[in-house]
Amino acid sequence: MTSSGRFRKSFDIVREFAVADFRLRYHDSLLGYLWFLLSPALMFGVYYFVFTSVIYIKIPDFALYLILGIVCYNFFQDCTYSAMYSLAAKAHIIKKIYFPRYLIIVASSATAVFSLLVNLVIVLIAVFVARGVPHLLWLVPIPILCLMFFSTGVGFILAALYARFRDLSQIWGVLVVAIFWLTPVVYDVSSLPESTQITVFLNPLSRIFMLMRHYLLYEFFDMQFLVITVVSAFFTFMIGLIVFLRIQDQLAEQL
């Protein structure tokens, strides 16, 4: 088979799986589809209330800052969880038909990416209305791609481990909360004591969030910061992919 034919087939599998996942998740109803817009909006409401009324956080344009963080973190959570569960959900197919297994993870990520992009369009409109079009808007696809690649890389690792260890879902449930607070979603890194800042910088996800805000809210550009962020996101993706490709032939037996 030619490589373009193989790509075509892979692409079609991913599309079919992604569309099916999306439709099944939201039960094919309009109200169902609204949920993926509504859940970040509701989270935003909760955090906005807490951080403006209960605990005071001093960040300019806090509403935009917060909604951007929540939309991106929501994606990270959604993408990693669905990757983790996707193999078990397709176990019956994996046991009966051979096709490259990594396509399942790619498809589950694609479903999450779709929600992310729709959410981001709404956030962008809010930014335009509140502050006008940012000068660095053309750079925004970079942090978005980093977020997608990083989350998919983590998803690959989780999926590979979940095939073997079924309690990973509980462990990941805790880790997702820990990572939430290790990432500047609701706070700003500069508000942390210097000794703590380093741990946030070591987290690739933090860098992606900061890069996103640099371009969208602060009109700030730093080449070194950009390169480190892109490299760390891509590196995570590659590690995940390599780990997954190594175990993908054993999946039919493990699931």
Partner 1 sequence: MNVIELQSVSKVFSIPHERKRTLFHWLSSLGKGRYEFEPLYALRDINLEIEQGEFVGVIGRNGCGKSTLLKIISRIYRPTKGTAKVQGSIFPLLELGVGFQPEFSCKENVFLYGSTLGFTRKQLTARLDSIIEFAELERFIDAKLSTLSTGMIVRLAFAIAVQSDASIYLVDEGLAVGDSDFKEKCRQEFIRMKQQKRTMLFVSHDMAEIEQFCDRVFVMENGQIVQRGAAREMIDFYVEGRQSA
Contacts with partner 1 by CB under 8 A lie at 1, 5, 8-9, 12-13, 15-17, 20, 23-24, 28, 90, 92-99, 161, 165-168, 171, 249-250, 252-253
- Six token digits for residue 118: 């729709």
Residue 99 CB, shortest distance to partner 1, in Å, is 6
Residue 20 CB, shortest distance to partner 1, in Å, is 6
Give how far Cα 16 sits from Cα of 19, 77, 112, 118, 215, Å.
5, 23, 14, 20, 34
Q: Specify the 3-state DSSP secondary structure of 166.
A: coil
Residue 118 CB, shortest distance to partner 1, in Å, is 22
- Six token digits for residue 31: 């109200």
Residue 174 CB, shortest distance to partner 1, in Å, is 13
Nearer to partner 1, 86 or 206 (CB): 86
Nearer to partner 1, 58 or 96 (CB): 96
- Six token digits for residue 222: 């730093």
Instruction: Count the residues in the chain.
Output: 255
Nearer to partner 1, 194 or 253 (CB): 253
- Structural contact between residues 104 and 87, judged by C-beta atoms closer than 8 angstroms: yes
CA distance 252 to 255: 6
Nearer to partner 1, 93 or 239 (CB): 93
